[in-house]
Amino acid sequence: MPIEQGWLAGARRVPSPNCDARPSGEVSLLLLHSISLPPGEFGGEHVERLFTNRLDPEAHPFFATIAGLRVSAHLLIRRDGECVQFVPFHRRAWHAGRSRWRDGGRERVALNDFAIGIELEGDEVSPYAGAQYRTLAAVTRQLLAAYPALAEQRITGHAHVAPLRKSDPGPAFDWAYFRQTLRKLRTP
């Protein structure tokens, strides 16, 4: 899955208007999220519709509460491992919201400026699928190769950068298994 002009080869492209230029061009953080629409339900096109401003607020009572949101992520990894890309990596996707990241000795804000956002189709309580971990590890390997400022210690969850506001990808995400899967891909 090489990266060409900011797009991941093999990912299905669904371009989102919810992005803009990165102020400095920096890519140095990988931020993991979880999403399910409606909450707790997987599959369907609701996430794609949200990220492309086409979500029908009358299709489900929850959707009325998020009508008007202008959000996106770079990638969505579905339960079956399918990868959908909304924003090229060199552009700023709108996924982190109000967040803070401690980078060495300094605290940074405006994380969208330098983070790549990956949404995992899921919620904080349902176990993620093996196919998702495999796809995430393969994508992460490509990102680490393409962006030298990105390193394994610069991979975190939304809960770690917005702890009072967010809890994703949640306790159901197995960080140890993800890192083990990532290491296996690096071993010749």
The three-state secondary structure class of 152 is: helix
Q: Which of 45, 48, 58, 119 is catalytic?
A: 119
Annotated active-site residue 119? The verdict is: yes
Q: What pLDDT digit, counting tens, does each position of 54-75 carry?
A: 999 999 999 999 989 999 999 9
Beta bridge partners of 20: 92
Q: Are 17 and 87 in contact (CB under 8 A)?
A: no
- Virtual torsion, Cα 34, 36, 84, 74, nearest 10 deg: -40
Rounded to 5°, the CA angle 99-157-12 comes to 105
Rounded percentage of the chain residues whose pLDDT exceeds 70: 99
Residue 91: the pLDDT is: 98
Secondary-structure percent of the chain, ordered helix, strand, coil, rounded to 5: 25, 20, 50
pLDDT interval class at 118 (50, 70, 90) = very high
Pick left, alpha or beta for residue 25 (phi over 0 → left; psi -120 to 50 → alpha; otherwise beta): left
Residue 170 tokens, joined: 């949640």
Q: How far apart are CA 57 and CA 68, in angstroms?
A: 9
Model pTM?
0.96
The three-state secondary structure class of 49 is: helix
One CATH from 3.30.499.10, 3.40.80.10, 2.60.40.10, 3.30.70.2860 for 3-186: 3.40.80.10
Q: If we measure between CA atoms, which residue out of 34, 28, 44, 57 comes closest to residue 147?
A: 28
